[in-house]
Amino acid sequence: MHPPASMSTPLPIHDDAPDLDVPAAAAVPPPTANVLGVPLALTDYTRTMDWIDATIQQGGRGYVCVAAVHTVMVFQEDEELRQAVLNSDLTVPDGQPLVWAMNALGHPLSSRVYGPELMARHCERSATTGARIFLYGGSNQGALVQLALNLRRRFPGLKIVGGYSPPFRALSDEEEDAVLAEINASGADIVWVGIGVPKQEKWMAAMRDRLEAPVLVGVGAAFDFHAGRVAQAPNWIQALGMEWAFRLSREPRRLWKRYAIYNPKFVAGFVLQYMRGR
């Protein structure tokens, strides 16, 4: 069997290190708040990006989970996801309801760290610093190529050193070895992972020790948003914490069970946690 086809991208010169200038202390993960057992980082976009760059600068190895209500609730029933989240270096609050929950617990968090926005902001920074990125995910190879084109147009100078869109089935051992070898050969500093919850968290946890890239970040639907395949909710809908309703209106058959089951369960679970804390 031949190795999986990758996005056609020249490999970088490995000694062309990114021009990062962040304090070493930024590599220390921020404190967390417990929401239904999930340790959510008390952080913002800048602090999260500084952690990413400090980890690259120091040659560390870590991974970031981006958690919405869906992640928090699947965490309650999927032990493999639970361990992947608990073993991450940062789990950031992607969903606005999680920010409200953290505020209710006495943590003055001003905004969420939304996966698609985190990816965009760090790609903008990477176009300046020279940090090399690998894209793992996407609906198919064509969507992945479109994502790379859009990112390069939006952020001139961004170094995308490779990409791979995995099939929906599990990879064979040979395929998995080939993909990991490709990522390692690319010299990537960051692997952005967009294969959805809980698959991406489990993949990052399982592959972390086999990948040389200092940082892995799971960003879910960010690939489809930035490739222009799926529309994002307007900012005012996001601010109201109603992005789920917008997405449900666009993909009702795929998403209705997620929101009909998990949203009420989250509200009930958090009310119990809050009352116990009181």
pLDDT range class, residue 252, cuts 50, 70, 90: confident
Give the pLDDT of residue 5: 43
Q: Across-strand partners of 91? A: 65
Domain range list for the chain: 24-227
Average pLDDT value for the chain: 90
* Token representation of residue 253: 């058959």
Give the pLDDT of residue 230: 73
Give the pLDDT of residue 168: 85
Q: What is the percentage of the chain residues whose pLDDT exceeds 70?
A: 92
Residue 13 has pLDDT above 50, yes or no: no
Give the pLDDT of residue 9: 41
- By the 8 A CB rule, do 22 and 92 touch? no
Give the pLDDT of residue 10: 39
In the chain the first and final C-alpha atoms are separated, in Å, by 59
pLDDT range class, residue 231, cuts 50, 70, 90: low
Residue 201 has pLDDT above 80, yes or no: yes
Residue 7 has pLDDT above 60, yes or no: no
Residue 88 has pLDDT above 70, yes or no: yes
Q: Across-strand partners of 26? A: none
Q: Could you tell me which residue, 172 or 250, shows the higher pLDDT?
A: 172
Angle made by CA atoms 250, 252, 256, in degrees to the nearest 5:
135
What is the arithmetic mean of pLDDT over 7-28? 69
Taking domain 24-227, whether its CATH number is 3.40.50 is answered by yes
Q: Which of 8-17, 93-102, 198-207, 218-227 has the lowest mean pLDDT?
A: 8-17
**What pLDDT digit, counting tens, does each position of 150-199 carry?**
999 999 999 999 999 999 888 999 999 999 999 999 999 999 999 999 99
DSSP string, 238-249: HHTT-HHHHHHH
Give the pLDDT of residue 22: 87
Q: E strands within 7-155?
A: 32-35, 38-41, 62-67, 90-93, 132-137
Residue 4 has pLDDT above 70, yes or no: no
pTM of the model: 0.89
**What pLDDT digit, counting tens, does each position of 100-112 carry?**
999 999 998 989 9
